[in-house]
Amino acid sequence: MNLNGIDACKQVRARTDTCFLGFSAGKDSVATWLRLREFFPKVVPIFHYWLPDLEFVKKTLNYYEEYFQTRIVRLPHPGLSQMLRYGSFQPPERYQICEWWGLDDADFREQCDFVAEDHGIDPANAWLAVGLRSADSVRRLMFFQKYGTVNERLCKFYPIAEYRKPDLIAAFEAARIKLAPEYAMMPRSFDGITIDYLRAIKENFPQDYARIVDWFPMVECEFYRAEVYNAKS
């Protein structure tokens, strides 16, 4: 089993000088970007937002754009359209409106293909780098054991598959790059309208929390649900 992300980068680089990066602004995607720039003249990062124009998210993306001197493409997270389509955290009077919109999903691969076409690249040769690591969990390790670090069918590859925590720290220190400030208050980079993130946003970014409430007026129910769950535990 080859878990060497360098070999994966070399294999893809032999086919193209441009790659796309699924960029979450989390530690793994930052480390992936650092490694990619060693091999690819052009890296096109794609960030999927859960809500547009959250200030704390914009500040983080602006920092990485300045550091890498590269524009980050911003696209809606597939989970956002799903939440709107299903009327998540919406009052009854809004539910029919959400249903009427008839929103369709575009998954990460499809969105990457759209961006590739904008850059004049054939989607069939649009390689997407993803910051997954085998050390994250047994499930991740089993994934790499089964599929390896290069997925020909999906045009995906995994540049830091072999990284462990010390490798991440060494990469960040060598590059003198910072992690997103929300790491100090959230379990990981912002990834969904759930209690783990909502509590931190409400306490630290009240204006952004108010924007979330504008989109999802009944989101406070998530706090009630957490209280009930904790009471039963």
**pLDDT tens digits, residue range 67-84?**
999 999 999 998 888 888
Q: What is the pLDDT of residue 100?
A: 66
C-alpha radius of gyration, the chain, whole number: 19
Using the predicted structure, report yes or no on whether residue 99 has a pLDDT greater than 80. Answer: no
- Which residues have CB under 8 Å from 113's CB, separation 6+? 123, 126
Query: Could you give the maximum distance between any two Cα atoms of the chain, in Å?
Result: 56
pTM comes to 0.91
Give the tokens for residue 3: 């878990």
Using the predicted structure, report yes or no on whether residue 114 has a pLDDT greater than 80. Answer: yes
Give the tokens for residue 144: 């790499």
Q: What is the pLDDT of residue 138?
A: 87
Using the predicted structure, report yes or no on whether residue 17 has a pLDDT greater than 70. Answer: yes
The number of beta carbons lying within 10 Å of the beta carbon of residue 100 is 8
Classify strands 156-157 and 150-151 as parallel, antiparallel or unpaired.
Answer: antiparallel
3-class SS string, 55-103: HHHHHHHHHHHHHHCCCCEEEECHHHHHHHHCCCCCCHHHHHHHHHHCC
Q: What is the pLDDT of residue 51?
A: 93
Kindly report the average pLDDT of the chain as a whole number. Answer: 90
Helices marked H in the chain: 5-13, 27-36, 55-68, 78-85, 92-101, 108-118, 138-147, 165-175, 195-204, 206-215, 221-232
Using the predicted structure, report yes or no on whether residue 1 has a pLDDT greater than 60. Answer: no
Residue labelled with tokens 């759930």:
194
